[in-house]
Amino acid sequence: MFIHPIEKTGVLMQKKITVVGAGNVGATTAQLIAERNLADVVLIDIMDGIPKGKALDIQQACPLWNSLSIITGTNNYDDSSGSDIVVITAGLPRKAGMRRGDLLRANADIILGVSEDIKKTSQDAIIIVVTNPMDVMTYLTQKITGFPHKRVVGMGGVLDTSRMRTFIALELDVPVEDVRALVLGGHGDLMIPLSRVTSVKGKPILSIMPESKITEIIERTKNGGAEIVGLLKTWSAYCAPAASIVEMIETILGIKKEFLPCSAYLDGEYGVQGIYLGVPVELSVQGVDRIIEFDITGDEKKAFLNSAKRVHELITEMKIE
């Protein structure tokens, strides 16, 4: 059984992870953390009874997973005090036909309140932002908390890359572990899948798949969330987003050693200044240790800058300084 202890005042203790939002994404994230025995979990929501009920359900499954995680459901941020990692999933989900930008104002109001509470209770935490539009909400979270940029990071690129790998593996009927891909830029329809560096069993995707099919897969990847919303009607995706969050958590805790595409604050990297956007990063218990900058083509740079422009426009629309 693997436990991640940290030393506090001479006592070995579990890591503490708070998940804000007890909807499908938040509850599934809490479940995966507990199932893998990564940390104690605090599940917070404004709905009376919901976080407590879901936490109790997950807690009762822990003996079957041989997990020592303690799961707490609450409406009170004081219970999250001193968290090592805070995951923000709270917000309104997308509905059929809704763009991520449509969520801007409603979710910004939610993020404002959540960020103020985190600032009061978990001043040393790393924050993972999931709420859409994710790159803008990550920017807003950092502004409100005042945390160092490296300790506030957005999830989107991990999910987008996983979707692209999935679609390629299904198309070619190969194990998904044989597929390598990378997505840059904003989350969702602002993403920039790099077919140039995508490979299957080490072979460039461009050498084994027609460009027309690659284009189809890229478009399906960009609309991966909308496709699921269209099928579920009143729900949005939650299993893959939760797994993406946990992938980041395991990397932060040092269980996995790999770079991940995440929404990180850019200070000149890739020619972009002062916003959050999806790039490959190295994560650790300090947050974003390093942004990995590599050469991109002229067309890729143009698409990346267009993605950055759209994120900046949304920030300006919110009048965030």
Residue by residue, DSSP assigns 74-91 as ES-GGGGTT-SEEEE--S
- Of 4, 149, 187, 312, the active-site residue reads 187
The H-assigned helical ranges of 66-210 are 104-121, 134-145, 156-172
Is 4 in the active site? no
Cis bond leading into 193, ω under 30°? no
Cβ neighbours, 10 Å, residue 8: 10
Of how many residues is the chain composed? 321
Is the CB of residue 127 less than 8 Å from the CB of residue 147? yes
CA torsion sign for 16, 21, 22, 26 is negative
Structure tokens at 282: 């190295």
Catalytic residues: 187
